[in-house]
Structure formats: C-alpha cells, structure tokens
Amino acid sequence: MTAPRVLPAPHASPLDLGGRTALVTGAAGGIGRACALRLAAAGAKVRAVDRDAAGLEALAAQGTGLAGTLEPHVLDLTDLDAAELAAAGTDVLVNNAGLQLVRPIEQFPPDVFHTVLTVMLEAPFRLIRGALPHMYGQGWGRIVNVSSVHGLRASAYKSAYVAAKHGLEGLSKTTALEGAPHGVTSNCVNPGYVRTPLVETQIADQARAHGIPEERVLSEVLLQDSALKRLIEPEEVAEAVAYLCSPQASYMTGASLVLDGGWTAH
C-alpha cells in the first residue's frame, strides 16, 4: 500500500526556532549579522562567532528584546580545533565568514591564499564535523553555507575566493548526501554582490586592478553581468537562510539557492 501523502499547511507559518541552538560565523557584520538577528528573532539561541569583539558587542546590544538570544563568541576561525569545538551541540549552522583579496594570480600572496582557503573552506568543514554528531543524534539539523555567485561562476583576480567558494559548494553537497538519512539538510545560498564592508573594500581593489575610477566599479565591474542593477541587502540573504531552516524547505538539500539578480541567467 502506498504511504499517505503528507501535505504542508495551506499557508506558510512564521519560522519558529524556539529551543534550537544556531551558530553563525562572521556574525559581527554584513550577512552574518543579519543572519544572527533573523535567527534570534525566530527564537533561536544564537552563538554569534567572529574575531571582532567590538562588532559582536554591538550585535548583542542590537539583539535585545528578540524572541531568542545572541551569545557573542570571539573566535579566529584559523584556529580549526577551536572552531570544531564551538560547533558542538548546534542544531543550525550558518557558515558565513569570509575574506577577499583582489589580485592577479602571479601577484597573489601565497600566505593570503592559504588563509582564505582555511577560513572559507577548511573551517566550514571543521564546523560541520563538530555539529553533525548532535544533529545526527536528534535526527534533525540545518546547515546553510553562505556561498556566492562565485561558487558557480569565476571572476578574474579572485583566485582564492573563487576556489574556496567552489570547494564550499562541493562540501555542502557531500554533507547533504551523508546527512539525508539522519534528517540533516545542507544547502548553499548564493548571493551576488551584497551591501557589506567586504564589497566596499573590493571597490577600491577592483579600481586598482582594472585601472578605472572607483565610481565606475559598481556599474562597469561588479554589476556588469547582473540584470538587476543594485546591490542585494544583507537582510535579503538572511531571509533565504531562514527559509532553508523552515519546515517548508525540509525537502530541499544539496541545492544552491541563487540570489544573483540574474547574473547566472546569461
């Protein structure tokens, strides 16, 4: 006999993460801050991880009065053992922390390449490794990897960032395959250029790399391939992350949720 169909409620309900513990990396600013606030608003106890202590203090102050809580954790993700330990006992893991340097390959400092891969690929692996035993034990978990359109497309002068994001896509899919029998989903969110300090820094770097004034970088470089000629806001990315934690997304795993303003439609 065919099992009865389990149909969702006719209307989506608000995200409720009451009783859940979430960990968000790079939480002191930008996308990470927006994600931490969004998950705390849904009732989660959020471990906000960043190496920026002042930024975490400001985040904690901003989170006063939310349904959940924000707990600042100062951590440098190049300390991989500490990163893995920090993820123990989490129900939701958001791998967001990142850094960027724009240079031609022949001028790219090898030590920076190593650091980018450590923070943006090896640290997510260790965080996932630390989180999975608890998730598997309870039969439920949500892993969201904040990738990028650069996880799907390459750009010149960003060898480390593109390599890390492409690797993160593969790690996320492997996690999805292994986690499926245990009730754990793993997905990527792939935004285009987001209005963050990281992108603001890139504008000056891109101006130097391309030999054009900074005021032309946004329209002629960053948004050249985007159908929507604006930056995406961190809060928009956070809503996509929240959706992947919702009951309505329980069948979505191993996917890349693209928020690129039509960039990859070309």
Query: Residues 194-206: what's their mean pLDDT?
Result: 84
Token readout for 72 is 């600042």
pLDDT on residue 250:
97
> Residue-wise over 100-137: b if at least 16 C-beta within 10 A, else e?
bbbbeeeebeeeebebbbbbbbbbbbbbbebbbebbbe
Portion of the chain with pLDDT greater than 90, in percent: 82
Count of alpha carbons within 13 angstroms of residue 178, beta-carbon side: 13
pLDDT on residue 133:
98
Residue 104 has pLDDT above 70, yes or no: yes
**Considering 136, 157, 161, 251, which one is annotated as catalytic?**
161
What does R_g of the chain's alpha carbons equal in angstroms? Answer: 18
Count of alpha carbons within 13 angstroms of residue 114, beta-carbon side: 4
Q: What is the pLDDT of residues 1-51, one digit of tens each?
A: 455 665 555 566 789 999 999 999 999 999 999 999 999 999 999 999 999
Q: Is 161 a catalytic residue?
A: yes
Contact criterion met (CB below 8 Å) for 133 and 194: no
C-alpha span between 24 and 131 (Å, rounded): 12
Taking CB atoms within 8 Å and a gap of at least 24, the contacts of 12-18 are 12/246, 12/248, 13/247, 14/42, 15/42, 15/242, 15/243, 15/245, 15/246, 16/42, 16/43, 17/42, 17/43, 17/44, 17/68, 17/91, 17/92, 17/245, 18/42, 18/43, 18/44, 18/67, 18/68
pLDDT on residue 4:
64
Residue 202 has pLDDT above 90, yes or no: no
- pLDDT mean across residues, the chain: 94
Q: pTM, whole model, 2 decimals?
A: 0.92
Q: What is the pLDDT of residues 124-175, one digit of tens each?
A: 999 999 999 999 999 999 999 999 999 999 999 999 999 999 999 999 999 9
Instruction: Enumerate domains of the chain plus CATH numbers.
Output: 21-195+233-252 (3.40.50.720)
Q: What is the pLDDT of residues 207-229, one digit of tens each?
A: 888 899 888 888 888 898 899 99
92-95 β-sheet, strand order: 69-74, 45-50, 21-25, 92-95, 141-146, 184-191, 256-259
Query: Residues 234-248: what's their mean pLDDT?
Result: 97
pLDDT on residue 3:
58
Portion of the chain with pLDDT greater than 70, in percent: 95
Backbone angles phi, psi at 103, to 5 degrees: -155, 150
Reported confidence tier of residue 114, pLDDT bands at 50, 70, 90: very high
pLDDT on residue 9:
56
Query: Residues 94-98: what's their mean pLDDT?
Result: 98
